[in-house]
């Protein structure tokens, strides 16, 4: 009887559950979708209980689909979206909707942080540049704007911690990678930075307990077992934030390896064997799931979510046609895009639908489509969207290279890797070979590796990665295409710089805040 593990990935727009064997083969999967809410421009919230319910349902269906007996599943772990603020009161009662990582409301609090501590000193301490994304500014916003909620708050946790607790974890445990995204964690010592807690008046008792990934956190409770499909007593292992789990599931366990992930948002991670600090101050230095190692991380505020917006709001005809004929919308668009020349006939997208993240960090930046003429059609626009999202990722890759990080192998992951066309665009834009993985959902595979380690099925995380991660296909850059994209990237940078320097982003952002 084969031994198996369960993995859950709680993303921004949906949750997926998968059952894996120890060779990294997915035996059964299921998915549940859910919404975000947007109370005001720049605000993004979700219902964490709906996310937990959806994840439990997906896990239960995955167990059924796998055909394995629940007793074969020895452990479960989770990969979850990071930087999401969940505020809990007495008896662990949810006090308000979860504030999403995409939420840009605390811009005033970011300015306040900058007034209290020099930006370079803050980066030296945390490995993070000051930003609206991290939880510190969100907690400060709640304290100032929702004082009653703040007074009632007994714990502030993230989605990973909340889900493990719902399964039956002994307390609210935060993995070391997720802990960094609070914005006051010392990733070198793996503890909360007391000087920052004092500076910003944060009581450490309201925080989750930091714990290394792959450590047992508890067992599945009786009242949860029937909902999630696992046996009572199944081991719960500390997981990791989505991009950290994705880096593990992509085999980023040695120097020179970089993962590029595109989901609703995008991310990049490079393996570090020491707590490096980016000389430019733009990359995030976080804990790797292998304790004693680190990741240089960067994030893209919106990636696949931008293309999904194009599908829903611009390509309504193609969406209707694909639904009516039972076709996959993205495959249908790939066929149309393939007929559009590289560079989309000079059409360029800046995909800042949720602001600019690494390396530019401008929450006021907005999406821009430049170069439209009567010669362009929806297929040109669709290609421009793929290229613009990828050029934004190249911006991150360039910042890594400029910081002296070694880049030899690029492993790409996320939903877009289902598109051969987009995979080739990535190779051409980066000017480097890129490889896809046998398991496309690397975040789930990373969580599965951590589940297996937590149950003692592997002696180390490295052993788990060696046994479960496999390369599927490598795409090599086409020189003439790379030349076009180099020129387009220059225009991309000039467009951003010009709009920022002339105050266009700030003026638009200010105008939008009045609606």
User: What would the 3-class secondary structure string for 71-136 be?
Assistant: HHEEEEEEEECCCCEEEECHHHCECCCEECCCCCCCHHHHHHHHHHCCHHHHHHHHCCCCCCCCHH
Measured at the CA of 361, the angle between CA 358 and CA 363, to 5 degrees, comes to 130
**What would the mean pLDDT of 235-246 be, rounded to a whole number?**
95
Q: What is the mean pLDDT of residues 322-349?
A: 96
DSSP string, 202-242: --GGGSPEEE-TT-EEEE--HHHHHHHTPPTTPEEE--EEH
Residue 485 has pLDDT above 70, yes or no: yes
Confidence of residue 32 (pLDDT cuts 50, 70, 90): very high
d(CA 346, CA 484): 10
pLDDT at 219: 98
pLDDT > 70? residue 354: yes
The pLDDT tens digits for 40-98 are 988 999 999 999 999 999 999 999 999 999 999 999 999 999 999 999 999 999 999 99
> What per-residue confidence (pLDDT) applies to 415?
85
Residue-wise pLDDT tens digits, 433-467: 999 999 988 999 999 999 999 999 999 999 999 99
Q: What are phi and psi of 123, to 5 degrees?
A: -65, -40
Q: In the numeric block, which tokens belong to residue 413?
A: 């992951």
Q: Are strands 284-287 and 294-300 parallel, antiparallel or unpaired?
A: antiparallel
Residue with tokens 């939903």: 415
Cα separation of 58 and 67, whole Å? 15
Task: Show the domains of the chain with their CATH numbers.
Answer: 304-435+474-512 (3.30.420.40)
Report CA 166 to chain centroid distance, whole Å: 22
Q: Is residue 1 predicted with pLDDT exceeding 80?
A: no
Name the one residue in this structure whose structure tokens are 């930003």.
131
**Residues in a beta bridge with 4:** 21, 73
Percent of the chain with pLDDT over 90: 88
Q: Which of these, 398, 295, 368, 360, lies nearest to 82 by C-alpha position?
A: 295
pTM over 0.85? The answer is: no
Q: Do residues 82 and 357 touch, judged by C-beta distance below 8 A?
A: no
Residues facing 14 on adjacent strands: 33
What are residue 160's phi and psi, to 5 degrees? Answer: -55, -50
Evaluate if residue 280 carries a pLDDT over 80.
no
Nearest to residue 399, comparing CAs of 348, 365, 427, 360?
A: 360
Reported as a pLDDT band with limits 50, 70 and 90, residue 278 is confident
Rounded Cα–Cα distance for residues 323 and 177 (Å): 40
Q: What pLDDT score does 15 carry?
A: 97
Averaged pLDDT for residues 14-25:
97
Residue 218 pLDDT more than 70?
yes
CA 187 – CA 507 distance, rounded (Å): 37
Residue 408 has pLDDT above 90, yes or no: no
Beta bridge partners of 241: 80
pLDDT by residue (tens digit) across 113-145? Answer: 999 999 999 999 999 989 898 999 999 999 999
């Amino acid at each position: 009887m084969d031994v198996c593990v369960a993995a859950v990935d709680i993303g921004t727009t949906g949750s997926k559950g998968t059952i894996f064997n120890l060779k990294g083969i997915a035996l059964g999967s299921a998915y549940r979708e859910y919404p975000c809410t947007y109370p005001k421009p720049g605000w993004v919230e979700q219902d964490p209980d709906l996310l937990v319910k959806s994840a439990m349902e997906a896990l239960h269906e995955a167990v059924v689909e796998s055909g394995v007996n629940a007793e074969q599943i020895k452990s479960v772990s989770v990969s979850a979206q990071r930087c999401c603020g969940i505020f809990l009161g007495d008896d662990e009662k949810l006090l308000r909707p979860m504030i999403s990582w995409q939420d840009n409301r605390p811009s005033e609090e970011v300015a306040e942080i900058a007034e209290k501590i020099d930006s370079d000193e803050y980066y030296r301490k945390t490995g993070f540049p000051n930003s609206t994304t991290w939880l510190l500014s969100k907690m400060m916003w709640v304290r100032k704007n929702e004082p009653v909620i703040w007074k009632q708050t007994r714990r502030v946790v993230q989605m990973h911690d909340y889900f493990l607790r719902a399964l039956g974890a002994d307390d609210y445990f935060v993995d070391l990678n997720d802990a960094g995204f609070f914005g006051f964690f010392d990733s070198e010592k793996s503890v909360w930075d007391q000087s920052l807690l004092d500076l910003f008046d944060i009581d450490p008792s309201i925080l989750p307990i930091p714990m290394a990934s792959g450590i047992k956190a508890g067992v599945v409770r009786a009242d949860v077992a029937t909902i999630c499909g696992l046996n009572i007593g199944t081991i719960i292992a500390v997981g990791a934030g989505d991009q950290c789990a994705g880096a593990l599931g992509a085999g980023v366990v040695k120097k020179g390896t970089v993962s590029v992930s595109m989901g609703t948002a995008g991310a990049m991670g490079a393996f570090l064997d020491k707590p490096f600090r980016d000389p430019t101050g733009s990359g995030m230095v976080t804990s790797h799931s292998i304790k004693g190692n680190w990741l240089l991380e960067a994030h893209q505020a919106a990636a696949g979510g931008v293309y999904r917006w194009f599908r829903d709001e611009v390509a309504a005809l193609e969406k209707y046609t694909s639904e009516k004929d039972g076709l996959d919308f993205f495959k249908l668009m790939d066929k149309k895009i393939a007929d559009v020349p590289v560079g989309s006939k000079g059409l360029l997208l800046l995909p800042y639908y949720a602001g600019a993240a690494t390396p530019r960090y401008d929450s006021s930046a907005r999406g821009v489509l430049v170069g439209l003429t009567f010669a362009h059609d929806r297929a040109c626009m669709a290609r421009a969207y793929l290229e613009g999202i990828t050029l934004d990722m190249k911006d991150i890759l360039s910042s890594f290279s400029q910081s002296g990080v070694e880049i030899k192998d690029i492993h790409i992951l996320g939903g877009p890797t289902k598109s051969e066309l987009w995979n080739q665009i990535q190779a051409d834009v980066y000017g480097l070979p890129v490889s896809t993985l046998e398991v496309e959902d690397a975040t789930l595979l990373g969580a599965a590796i951590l589940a297996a380690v937590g149950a003692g099925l592997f002696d180390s995380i490295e052993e788990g990665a060696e046994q479960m991660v496999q390369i599927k296909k490598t795409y090599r850059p086409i020189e003439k295409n790379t030349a076009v994209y180099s020129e387009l990237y220059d225009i991309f940078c000039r467009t951003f710089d010009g709009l920022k320097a002339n105050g266009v982003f700030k003026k638009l952002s200010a105008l939008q805040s009045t609606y």
